[in-house]
Copies of this chain bind each other. A is one copy, B any other.
Amino acid sequence: MNSGEVPDVVVLRLPLYVRVLSQLLHRGDNVVSSDQLGALLQMTPAQIRKDLSYFGRFGKQGRGYDVKFLREKLRGILGLDLKWPTCLVGVGRLGQAIINYPGFVPEGFDILAAFDSDPEQMGTTVGGLAVQPMSCLDETVAAKGISIGIVAVPSAQAQSVIGRLVKAGVHGILNYAPVAPQVPADTVIRNVDPVLSLQSMTFYLMQDRGAPLAAMP
């Protein structure tokens, strides 16, 4: 077991492992090998074993990993067995889609408050939450112990909103605005940016003209 620093790329892969293990559990599989996991995730068995070795020894030599056990361990390491109080800033079309997305809550990310700077939004309700003005942000974040902020405001406002969230005590930001915001070193930020994804995809699509689709017989 390696108790040193864990590479960021490894941490990024852990949730993927948890997800596959959940699927296996659902199917009724009790044991998996790193070979099987590798096939499901399209990665080498060695990488999976190495990744896991940063956190402990979870397998049984000759057998493999107990699905339920490994899943619980990884969930604990990631803190997925906890509730994470979350808030949303920006309740436009995108914000509404986010708050109504049924995938966050079952994973422990409870959106407990919604904010918007538009006076017209005040008094309205989104996903069962009363939309609050930005002036309530500090108080609500403190009162509800909110540690994660989801940012769904226009690009021009994103940086300042993120600054306010951080100042209010939020340490994690999920940003949907197409910008590269600056945050303090002790703040974790993740950007959801489908346009960037598409724009790097087209590079490869361009090369494709006449790519090896299938060898002629």
Q: Which residues of A contact B (CB under 8 A)?
A: 11-12, 14-16, 18-20, 40-42, 77-80, 82, 84, 93-94, 96-98, 100-101, 103-104, 107, 109, 147-148, 171-172, 174, 178-180, 182, 186, 188, 190, 192, 194-206, 208, 211-213
Contact = CB atoms under 8 A, between A and B. Distances in A.
- Total identical chains: 2
A41 B196 CA distance: 14
A100 to B, nearest CB: 6
DSSP class of A's interface residues: helix, strand, loop or mixed?
helix
Given A109-B198, A190-B197, A198-B190, A77 B174 contact: no
Contacts of A101: 93-94
A41 B180 CA distance: 7
A179 B26 CA distance: 15
